[in-house]
Structure 1
Amino acid sequence: MRKFSLLFVVLFALSAAHVSAQQRHWVHLTDDAGQGSDWRGRLEDAGADIAVHSRWLNAVSVSADIDVLERIAVLPFVRAIEPVRTWQRAERLPAPLASQPERSSPYGLDYGGALEQVELIRVPQVHELWIDGTGITVGMLDNGFRWRTHEAMSGINVRDEYDFIFDDTLTQNEDGKDSWSQDAHGTVTFSTIAGFKQGMLIGPAFNAEFYLAKTERNGSETQIEEDYWVAGIEWLAAQGATIVSASLGYSTWDDGTGYRYENGDFDGRTAVTTRAAVEAMRRGIVVVTAMGNEGSSRGSLIAPADADSIIAVGAVDFNGDVAGFSSRGPTNDLRIKPDICAPGVSVYCANKNADDTYERNNGTSMATPLAAGVAALVRSARPELTPVQVRDALRLTADNADAPDNASGWGVINAWDAILFHGMVISTNPKLFYGGGETIVMAWVASMSPVLESNVRLHWVHPTDGAQETPMQLVSPLTVAADGSGLYSATIGGVPEGNEVRFHIAASDSRESRTSPYGAPTATHSFTAGESRTLGAEHLLPASLTLHQNYPNPYLPAENALTTIRFEVPMPGGQVRLDVFDALGRRVRTLVEGFRGVGSHSVDLTGTLPSGIYYYTLSSGDSQVMRRMLILR
């Protein structure tokens, strides 16, 4: 009786609204539907045109008039019927292109016009650790994506795309089908998270893999229907996406199909997209969604931002102040929203008008891909984290974490603190420098607990000699983290050019042991002997032959077993000789003789040299540098 009472009420309301044949409705199925019953065939026999089948919600959306709905309602496998709601994007608001002064980048990557937006949330500092989204799959939900030819997007690793409106695999505008502006919104949001063009635009997760889902069709009111959103996120999950960025949201419509705050609909359980977002989280996906641009009134948020355990994003300007348009919480069940904030005012992004043009936009739809990009960095650094752990890393390191509220939530995110929140990290994209038959492998290890330098090791497989293990040397300490954090390097030699080398890096701090990539030795990095990969690391390469002062100096053998001499070799590396001379100019030691690759090196001096002044010289080709040391016995 309860089932039929519910259906009667729903159908009475639908009849009163004069349902049109083109309006879609959700048909919720009983739990045993599909177990031997031909529910699909029986729905079609009743006159329904099935649009979307959601396995997560155990429901289908159908196009049907009131007569068809009445026939469907009495089928034994039908649990409930409700309208498919219509939606609206968290629309971007154009901003003047020249509204922000552009500065030169002080980092290894040149962010161009995007510098201020990524700098506010400390993305460049994470990129400096060579953590850039490697190994992470991100799904995008939007209205279309013109990415194939734009200079900042053509190199993005897009694994697949799907258009749920026209049921094909092209998400950019299609002649005769789409309006000119159809793919504009998705283009700007996608470029914000993933764009890469040195000196113009670099997004937080530029090295991730992406799947693109076109789930809305622009109309006179920019209408979206929620069943396509559900179909899109289920498809992204099936492709293996572990992060989803959705700059879409709720709007109230005159036909009464929208959800309303005053009706208690934003309680984390009512809206269909909210329920789908929660299910995605349960399946291990970090869902990042826009709060909306409905203004500062209480409860102005949009669905699915009301979902629990997902990340709802508000917008701030470059001063960190909440934008006036950014929607506020709380949810109807009084949970704080938004979860976090990111830049959403004057955000720099690609423009669809030409392949080399850019624009600035405002909106929580612009803040969302920046926040999703930071979530991707956190998961790239520590892939084992659950969605709630990723959310906690972002919330508990944000700048309002001590007093969260319904304007900014836990505050403006901090990518650097977020990646270190759960422990030690290692570069997910180590750099390679090749020269003279040797490959130098370099990676950062960072932790807020002391790193055990002797435990940082390079494990690699020689093509003929098998497994090898090489200690990695700390060549550049990281002063903003715990002792032992910094840049480590090791050299792989004896591999003929053209051979593949698989490797992983292992490290330990006082709390844990980790590898890069995560899951090693089953998972490995690899390179082909003879290649170099230096993107983002060029500024670390010495410009000239450099010799540093030995340490300690003076050298007292009675107190110190050795003194260390550090030196740097410029690209592309070369034959190097390091000699020690006494005060009369006589060579007393040769510490280094042979090829050394580009980068930093060190050598220890030990032994029985008598007290006195000594000179040590570093020479390579026509270059020579000299320093003085004092030995006291």
Structure 2
Amino acid sequence: MKKVILILFLTLSTALSAQQDAWIYFTDKPNAATYLANPLTMLTQRSLDRRAAQNIALDLKDVPISQDYINTLSSTPGVTVYAKSKWLNAVHVRGTVADIQSLLDYTFVSAIDFADDALDTNGNRPAMSHRPASFLKAQEIMVNLPYGNSQNQVAMLHGNQLHIDDYTGAGKVIAVLDAGFPGVDVLDAFSRLRNNNHILGGYDFVNRAPNFYTSNNHGTAVLSTMGAYVENQMVGSAPDADYYLFITESNLDENPLEESLWVEAAEEADRLGVDIITTSLGYFHFVNAAYNYDYNDMNGTKAFISRGADIAFTRGIVVVASAGNSGASATDPHIGVPADALNVLAVGAVDANEQHAVFSSIGPSADGRVKPDITAQGEQAIVVNSSGEIQAANGTSFSAPIIAGLTACLWQALPDKSNAEIVSLIRQSADHYTNPDALYGYGIPDFAAAVIAAGIDDNVLPSYAVYPNPVKETLSIKTADFAANAEIYLYNTTGQLVLQQQITTALSQINLQRLAQGIYLYRISADNIHATGRIIKQ
């Protein structure tokens, strides 16, 4: 017994003397009134315009954190400040337990929250058991293909219909928070973005450096699912959106500091007026197992990053996050953070046949909410690597940005909608919406249906039938609700018109025998009324 007690004592002593991570929360923001009276000192005009369009008032969270408070902590022996958050009025520090706890002597410090729950003495975080470290990106494996294209991952979501209608993300701004973007500045696959000035800027928060075309190529692949354009090979889900590229993920280890850097980057995205944040990062376990999260922590309100993501939503931003790649884990198959956040659109993965990818993390959240929210292709998704090669890759890291890109297209089509309305339309368009589950969430969204459901055009064809679907040879079209002659247009999944034919009777038939097997998008038009949808040619 004495030996056990001695071991426990030595372990505790080592923890107390070792460098620890913690969040220090401040009591106030001394210059709040001045900032609120001068909004452009806090936010860009585009950010203020986004707020005004959604009737979102400025509040104390928009006010910068006190630099005087930060300077005071930075001058404290044994304590180093690594990140800051105005939204949470907190800084991320590192030091020994004693040095960090001494910060409570400052009157402007309201609370200390150690990343290791067991070190908390103020009740902020209850102590919980932790599990060995594992990393969510383990399943994201590139697979070489002799030739590939991205048509299925966009057509599955009926996103090509938005592209056909010229909704390609133009005018919307997406911030990508990831691990690095090498090659984006030189590769041909991103030349369309560069030539059209769609890359607005970025920053490396990990190294506090302006060069973001560096570090891990994970972000390059993520961006490619939205912004790459290689004719006849790959078209991203939002090729005409604008992008900010932020590095928040360290490649050296997995540490809670990355959560703080993520929130700091999200705040910068808000300041710049970004519409959508997409992140293919998730946290559950860390190198220091004492910092690990437990499934009970996946309640949307505990993790620093999840709270930050929800604040981003209250600023009028849509936040899209990968669900995680631990679905096949025997011990921790559930979503990580920030996918658990209350208002984050968490995206799981399916394969090309719309079946659940075994690696995709499952729900629900610890408090019983539907998670993931939706799913998209993340198994054998088509991406561009940092060498410019078009490859297949596995991971919710790719299903999430595919969704983010089409969210930009949808919002372009529906510019008067709020972020909450856009997210609601996406969820409601999904094929499991009336019967969500732990694998698919609300299911696979239909972005073309979301546009129609929003009532963008009151002249939608009220009653029609296109059958059978799937079809082998003959497609029947019943259009009994209008008398005028109509036309049907059939597009392949790259947006090319492959068939155009008049419809002269209430029941018409079209021979599709010459068309190859695959997915086609149709548009039926007559005067000012129309209908759109998808058929499968067998």
TM-score by length of 1: 0.60
Note if contact 1:94-1:362 (Cα within 8 Å) is conserved in structure 2. yes
**1:429-508 equivalence runs, <5 A:** 448=460
Structure 2 counterpart of 1:230, one-letter code: V
Give me the whole-angstrom Cα distance separating, in 1, the residues matched to 2:73 and 2:410: 45
Letter in 2 for 1:73: L
Aligned mate of 2:74, from 44, 55, 61: 44
CA RMSD of superposed structures (Å): 3.5
- Confirm or deny that 1:280 pairs with 2:278: no
| Aligned residue in 1 for 2:452 | 420
* CA shift for structure 1 position 190: 0.4
Which of residues 379, 393, 415 is equivalent to 1:383?
415
> Which of 276, 279, 285 matches 1:246?
279
Secondary structure in 2 aligned to 1:250? coil
Aligned AA for 2:180?
Answer: G
Distance, in Å, in 2 between the alignment partners of 1:39 and 1:373 is: 39
The 5-angstrom pairing of residues 99-178 of structure 1 reads 113-146=149-182, 147-156=184-193, 157-173=198-214
Q: Is the counterpart of residue 350 in structure 1 residue 384 in structure 2?
A: yes
| Offset of residue 41 of structure 1 | 3.3
Q: Which residue of 1 aligns with 2:106?
A: 75
Cα distance, 1:369 vs structure 2: 0.6
Q: 2:350 aligns with which of 309, 312, 316?
A: 316
User: Does structure 2 conserve the Cα–Cα contact (< 8 Å) formed by 1:145 and 1:187?
Assistant: yes
Contact 1:252 1:259 in 2 (8 A): yes
Partner of residue 24, structure 2: 27
Whether 1:196 aligns to 2:233 is: no
If you compute each CA radius of gyration, which structure gives the higher value, 1 or 2?
Answer: 1
**Counterpart residue number, 1:57:** 88
SS in 1 for 2:416: coil
Deviations 1:121-174 (A, max 9, x none): 11212111111001100010000112011111122110011110121221122x
TM-score (structure 2 length as normaliser): 0.70
Q: Percent identity?
A: 30
In structure 2, distance between residues paired with 1:308 and 1:28: 22
Count of residue correspondences: 418
Which segment drifts farther, 183-192 or 87-96?
87-96
**What do the CA deviations read for 1:504-539 (whole angstroms, capped 9, x no partner)?**
xxxxxxxxxxxxxxxxxxxxxxxxxxxxxxxx9986
Code of the residue aligned with 1:308 in structure 2: it is L
Give the secondary-structure state (helix, strand or coil) at the position aligned to 1:152.
helix
Amino acid at match of 1:46: T
Provide the residue aligned with 1:598 in structure 2: none
Q: What secondary structure sits across from 2:141 in the alignment?
A: strand
Aligned residue number for residue 36 of structure 2:
none
Answer yes or no: is 1:94 the counterpart of 2:116: no
Indicate conservation of the 8 Å contact 1:26/1:82, yes or no: yes
Asked if structure 2 preserves the Cα contact closer than 8 Å seen for 1:61 and 1:84, the reply is no
Runs of 4+ in structure 1 deviating by more than 4 angstroms, as ranges, are 13-16, 32-37, 84-92, 220-224, 296-299, 536-542
Report deviation, 1:90.
Answer: 4.2
The one-letter amino acid of 2:460's match is: M
Give the distance between the partners of 1:32 and 1:128, measured in 2 at CA.
49
Give the secondary-structure state (helix, strand or coil) at the position aligned to 2:189: coil
* Larger fraction in helix: 2
Write the mapping of 1:203-602 to structure 2, written as runs, cut at 5 A.
Answer: 203-219=236-252, 225-253=258-286, 254-261=288-295, 264-295=296-327, 300-353=334-387, 355=388, 357-424=389-456, 448=460
* SS of equivalent residue, structure 2 residue 16: coil
Give the distance between the partners of 1:119 and 1:19, measured in 2 at CA: 56
Question: Structure 1 residues 424, 412: closer, same or farther in 2, change over 3 A?
Answer: same
Give 2:56's aligned residue. Answer: none
- Displacement of 1:367 in angstroms is 0.6
Instruction: Identify unmatched segments of 5+ residues in structure 1.
Output: 1-12, 103-111, 174-181, 426-445, 451-477, 488-535, 543-547, 553-601, 603-633
**Residues 213/37 of structure 1: CA separation in 2 closer, same or farther (3 Å cut):** closer
Given that residues 187 and 350 in structure 1 are in contact (C-alpha distance below 8 angstroms), is that contact kept between their aligned partners in structure 2?
Answer: yes
User: Separation in 2 of the partners of 1:317 and 1:116?
Assistant: 10
- 2: CA distance between counterparts of 1:331 and 1:365? 19
**Helix, strand or coil at the partner of 1:388:** helix
Deviations for 1:404-435, whole angstroms, at most 9, x for unmatched residues?
A: 1111001012121122221116xxxxxxxxxx
Other-structure match for 1:18: 16
CA distance in 1, matches of 2:28, 2:93: 19
State the distance in 2 between where 1:84 and 1:226 align. 11
The CA deviation at 1:43 is 1.5
Question: 1:53, CA displacement in angstroms?
Answer: 1.8
8 Å CA contact retained: 1:52, 1:60: yes
What is the alpha-carbon distance in structure 2 between the residues aligned to residue 304 and residue 359 of structure 1? 27
Change in Cα spacing, 1:320 to 1:117, as seen in structure 2 (3 Å) is same
| C-alpha contact (below 8 Å) 1:27/1:78 kept by paired residues | yes
Once residues 358 and 19 of structure 1 are traced to their aligned partners in structure 2, the CA distance between those partners, rounded to angstroms, is 49
Shift of 1:540: 9.8
Contact 2:178–2:218 (Cα < 8 Å) also in 1: yes
- d(CA) in 2 for partners of 1:358 and 1:61? 39
Cα offset, 1:358, TM superposition: 1.5
Q: Secondary structure at the match of 2:313?
A: helix
Query: Structure 1 125/537 Cα, relative in aligned 2: closer, same or farther at 3 Å?
Result: closer
Q: Give secondary structure in 2 for the equivalent of 1:205.
A: coil
> Is the alpha carbon distance of 1:29 and 1:125 closer, same or farther for their aligned partners in structure 2, counting shifts above 3 Å?
same
Residue pair 1:88, 1:223 contacting (<8 A) in 2 also: no
Query: Partner letter of residue 152 of structure 2?
Result: E
Whole-angstrom CA distance in 2 between matches of 1:234 and 1:280: 7
* Structure with bigger RCO (C-alpha 8 Å, 6+ apart): 2
